[in-house]
Chain A
């Protein structure tokens, strides 16, 4: 199976997503320190702003992509038996997918 997984593309996406994750994290941290939302309604309003909503959605998309590539790397390194490897990759993929759907449902609720 791993023969069909690209090495270069995965590496490139992991690096690119890391840059976005770092940038978004610093921005959110700076915003929360400089102008923390006064209540839950204000927080919802901030995240619900279309620009911020899109940036947050992208953050979670890249976070899950980054995590998938990282965990996939660990599995490729250490898990040799093909059946066990496939099972673990599938389990991680399902977990990442569920997290993604969960994030999506939360983000849709904010809109």
Chain B
């Protein structure tokens, strides 16, 4: 089966090129296995990977125009055509499929992704009711693979100003948490024309998320909370 792989080494290449590889596909093979096979043939080929089971979020790549985690994408999904694998779009390419995710992590850090307490921290557990805990479902599962934010055109245009779907999902994860006590502070930090409001509900993020999370809905919750607080 034919795989076309994006190749670019800024140290030696003037511009990127696509390189074709024929790889014998076996039953149950994932795209990560194909990339490892290519790596064994050409050691200069670079891509990120780690756990191999969709938990670490390292091997986000763009496959036939759609962001995916290579390790949980079966090759059999593409049996009818060539497979074109490119780096996650909109990010500066460090080498081949490895991109610079600094802006992405910076935006994640900017939403203060930790619990903030004003009351003293309880000596033992910080209890929640089952309903309060259920509000976090669909939010805490994010693995920071970056498939959502790098598929978002608003993030492509303004990666340093727009928080992007991942950071906004994380922001809502803490706004929705009954144990967090910094709601006003968080909402104040989110105001302005860029941080939340560059989202135009394009919903590429929902389409791309390998964990089937819904950042667009989280952004809607943030906007609704802002509205509720303003009236």
Contact = CB atoms under 8 A, between A and B. Distances in A.
Contacts of A8: 191, 196-197, 223, 226-227, 230
Contacts of B154: 77
Dominant secondary structure at the B interface: loop
A7 B227 contact: no
A12 B193 contact: no
A11 B192 CA distance: 10
A20 B197 CA distance: 21
Contact of A2 (B157, B194, B223, B226): B194
B31 to A, nearest CB: 32
B116 to A, nearest CB: 21
Given A76-B198, A77-B154, A77-B157, A7 B230 contact: no
A81 to B, nearest CB: 14
Contact of A7 (B157, B158, B197, B200): B197
A34 interface: no
B49 interface: no
Interface in B156-195: 157-158, 191-195
B230 A6 contact: no
A3 B192 CA distance: 7
Given A73-B200, A76-B198, A5 B157 contact: no
A77 B193 contact: no
Contacts of A5: 193
Contact of A77 (B158, B195, B230): B158
A77 B158 CA distance: 7
Interface string A7-28: 1101110000000000000000
B192 A78 contact: no
Nearest to B226: A8
Q: How big is the A interface, by class? A: 10 to 19
Contact of A12 (B158, B200, B227): B227
Contacts of B191: 6-8
A8 to B, nearest CB: 5
Contact of B157 (A6, A11, A12, A78): A78
Nearest to B162: A77
Nearest to A12: B227
A77 B197 contact: no
A3 B158 CA distance: 14
Nearest to B154: A77
B163 to A, nearest CB: 11
Contacts of A2: 193-194
A7 B157 CA distance: 17
A80 to B, nearest CB: 8
Interface in A26-51: none
Given A12-B227, A76-B198, 5 more contacts: A6-B193, A7-B191, A8-B191, A8-B230, A73-B200
14 contacts: A6-B192, A7-B193, A7-B195, A7-B197, A8-B196, A8-B230, A12-B230, A73-B197, A73-B200, A76-B194, A76-B198, A77-B154, A77-B157, A77-B198
Instruction: In the A-B complex, list the 7 residue pairs whose CB atoms are closest, starting with the nearest.
Output: A7-B197, A7-B193, A5-B193, A7-B192, A8-B226, A77-B157, A11-B197
